[in-house]
Amino acid sequence: MSTPDYHLEEELHAQGFLRVAGVDEVGRGPIAGPVTAAAVILSPGAIPEGLNDSKQLTARRREALEQALITAAEVSIAHASVEEIDEINILRASHLAMERAVAALDPPPDFLLIDGNMIPRGLTIPARAVVKGDATSVSISAASIMAKTCRDRLMVDLAQHYPGYGWETNAGYPSKSHKNALRDLGITPHHRRSFKPVHNILYQGKSVSS
Contact 32, 192 (CB under 8 A): yes
pLDDT: is 172 or 54 the higher one? Answer: 172
pTM over 0.85: yes
The confidence score (pLDDT) of residue 203 equals 77
* Same domain flag for 175 and 96: no
* Same domain flag for 147 and 171: no
pLDDT tier at 182, thresholds 50, 70, 90: very high
Distance CA 134, CA 77 (A): 16
φ, ψ at 122 (rounded to 5°): -85, 0
* Same domain flag for 152 and 195: no
Distance CA 97, CA 78 (A): 5
C-alpha of 19 from chain center: 21
pLDDT in tens, 132-177: 999 999 999 999 999 999 999 999 999 999 999 999 999 999 999 9
The confidence score (pLDDT) of residue 111 equals 98
Cα–Cα–Cα angle for 16, 69, 34, rounded to 5 degrees: 100
The confidence score (pLDDT) of residue 207 equals 56
**150: number of CA atoms within 13 Å, CB side?**
24
Domain, as residue range, for 46:
7-159
The confidence score (pLDDT) of residue 2 equals 74
* Same domain flag for 77 and 121: yes
The confidence score (pLDDT) of residue 208 equals 58
Within-domain flag for 1:
no
* Same domain flag for 37 and 71: yes
CB atoms within 10 A of CB 29: 12
152 annotated binding-site participant = no
* Same domain flag for 94 and 31: yes
Q: Would the pLDDT of 122 be above 80?
A: yes
* Same domain flag for 31 and 110: yes
Within-domain flag for 208:
no
Within-domain flag for 14:
yes
Q: What is the mean pLDDT of residues 70-98?
A: 98
pLDDT tier at 202, thresholds 50, 70, 90: confident
b/e per residue 143-160 (b: at least 16 CB within 10 A): bbbbbbbbbbebbeebbe
106 annotated binding-site participant = no
Distance CA 14, CA 33 (A): 40
Distance CA 29, CA 36 (A): 12
Within-domain flag for 209:
no
Contact 10, 30 (CB under 8 A): no
110 annotated binding-site participant = no
Distance CA 44, CA 7 (A): 11
Distance CA 66, CA 54 (A): 11
* Same domain flag for 153 and 73: yes
The confidence score (pLDDT) of residue 22 equals 98
* Same domain flag for 195 and 145: no
Q: What is the mean pLDDT of residues 16-45?
A: 97
* Same domain flag for 70 and 170: no
Total number of domains constituting the chain = 2
Q: What is the mean pLDDT of residues 42-57?
A: 93
pLDDT tier at 201, thresholds 50, 70, 90: confident
pLDDT: is 2 or 102 the higher one? Answer: 102
CATH of the domain at 138: 3.30.420.10
Nearest to 117 by CA among 134, 131, 103: 131
The confidence score (pLDDT) of residue 27 equals 97
* Same domain flag for 151 and 76: yes
* Same domain flag for 34 and 74: yes
- Please state, for a pLDDT cut of 90, what percent of the chain lies above it: 91
pLDDT averaged over the chain?
Answer: 95
